[in-house]
Structure 1
Amino acid sequence: MPDSRLSSRGLALAISAYGLWGFLPLYFLLLDPSTPVEIVAWRIVLSLVFCVLLLAVTRAFAPFVALLRDRRIMGLSLLAGILIAINWIVYVYGSTNGFVVEAALGYFINPIVSIALGVVFLRERLRVGQWVAVGISVLAVLVLAIGYGQPPWISLALAFSFGFYGYIKNRMGGQVSAVAGLTLETAWLVPVAIVALVAVQLTSGITLGTSGLGHAVLLSLAGIITAVPLLLFAGATRRLPLSVMGFIQYFAPLLQFIFGVAVLLEPMPLERWIGFALVWLALVVLSVEAVVQRRRATRERRALPLETGPVETV
């Protein structure tokens, strides 16, 4: 019974996290006339403020300060901050300039990119199903490149920036919590964000406080809207198997895709549908392969005591 409650809570947390991420394009569109640069700059500054408040409320400053003395963690957090900043600016640009569908594609192909990074940097060996999924994904990108008339740069930038971000976070290890990690990353970026806000003020002018109360409230929530899904995600990963999280991760780009096609009426010619269909096929192959592999590993673990038991009793 406790396990059932734990899984139900984890499922609710995961769906909430990816649901919030799925509706981010709508949020960014509501921030008009703010530019992507201003939105990301406020997102960085306000995320740091929110994270510091969370550290204070949860009394987690002591372990956080310990991280500041770890040169390796500090270096990796700098790299993670740069990568997530690139991801944010590209995503906000895509969301506010009619490329929501292309942005969604980036997060659909992100799992494939993560697998490729594992092969290149971690020397991981792929199973047959994973090679098939990678091959189908490469074909999908080629089809989409023909359809767009050029490679889907926004999709590729999002997939690779988030893929490398995940790789760096993996190298940081479990000692860095979601809040501590985001605090470090945004702290590195705040000086750049302040310079960006000054540049915006000197050119087009900062929109916070000048575009109505509703706009000011929405923009001031950027830190909370950035940090809350990450915290929900962290809670979900502690309660759900990776295989379940692997399926739910497609919830956000699916919502973004539906929003782009059904609400924003972004064009979807035949070749684009074919490209997306190939991506979805690759994800189905990847998911089925992961489930089969997990079940095989579970059976092997259960069978192991039966095989080694007689030896241990001698």
Structure 2
Amino acid sequence: MSSWPGPGDGVGPAVTCRPEGSTSPGRMTRVVVEQIGAFVVGMIILPLRRSVAKLVVFTLVMGCYSVNMSSETTAGARPTRQQERRAQTVREIKGLAMEQIRQGGPDALSLTGIVREMSMSPAAVYRYFANRDALLADLVVDAYDELADALEGLDSAEGPEQRLDAVLRGTRGWALQHPNAYRLIFQTSIGSGADFAADRLIPAASRSMAVLVEALAAVGEGAEAPRTHKPGAVADAGAIAASLPDGIAGVFTPWAERSGLAGYPTGVLVLALLTWTRLHGIISLELGGHLAATGIGADTLFELEVGAIRAEAVALPALLAAAVAAAAVPAAD
């Protein structure tokens, strides 16, 4: 009887015993390769794909942002470094100019002195200002604009009388905070626009005057006045002009037209210009130290003036109505 050779007989394949459920070497290799592949896909390829996707999205977003910024730049471009340097230089020149004016008045303004102080070449300053008068005109316009901005920015939530008080006090407050700028525009002929640069100085000066005129007219009407006054809201301009002394109405007309205030009745304009002279008269006396010599506080004197101006503005309609009534009475033969 023959039988299969057993292990160790040297004949036929040897039989190897493996635990139940074990895997052959080939299958184990495939499993290892699959696991390595999964690791590569999960840890390298997928993140890489996500990174690429993020890069694509980022590129699209930045493209849209660039287009948007381009449109914004067209509408209001951010200053370049060169423009910022130029603006800084202009500010330095103006600052030195105002210091010269503080020390010696407008006549002391010298481009040569500014060039020396800034260590610039003599020709360099003319890249910023054509000449001394151009620099002086810029300083005057800046001062007028700062005053008008301060007055226009006052809180107008209260009534017309409070608004008028705020405008009067605001003018004094700005003058005390900026005495050199105030002296330049109100205590020299430079600020009048009569000497030079009238096309720039008169419109700049008219802004603060317009605020004062509006405030006075609003008190007279008992309501906030529009920038262009409605004829007849206080009284007929022709009747008011007729009530004034001969020739007075015609004197105010050119000034009102030049200042953009011709839409207001003559009576309002007369009160406004008189208020302007009184307001700046008392401020100039204070800055010059003359009020202190009286022994009466400047605040006390100024508030008395504010009260008097307010009372005249409140009484304006009644005064004008009386003037109109008097003008309507036929003269006796």
TM-score clears 0.5: no
TM-score with structure 2 length normalisation?
0.28
Structure ranking higher in helix proportion = 1
Q: Which has the higher contact order (CA 8 A, sep 6+)?
A: 1
| Greater gyration radius | 2
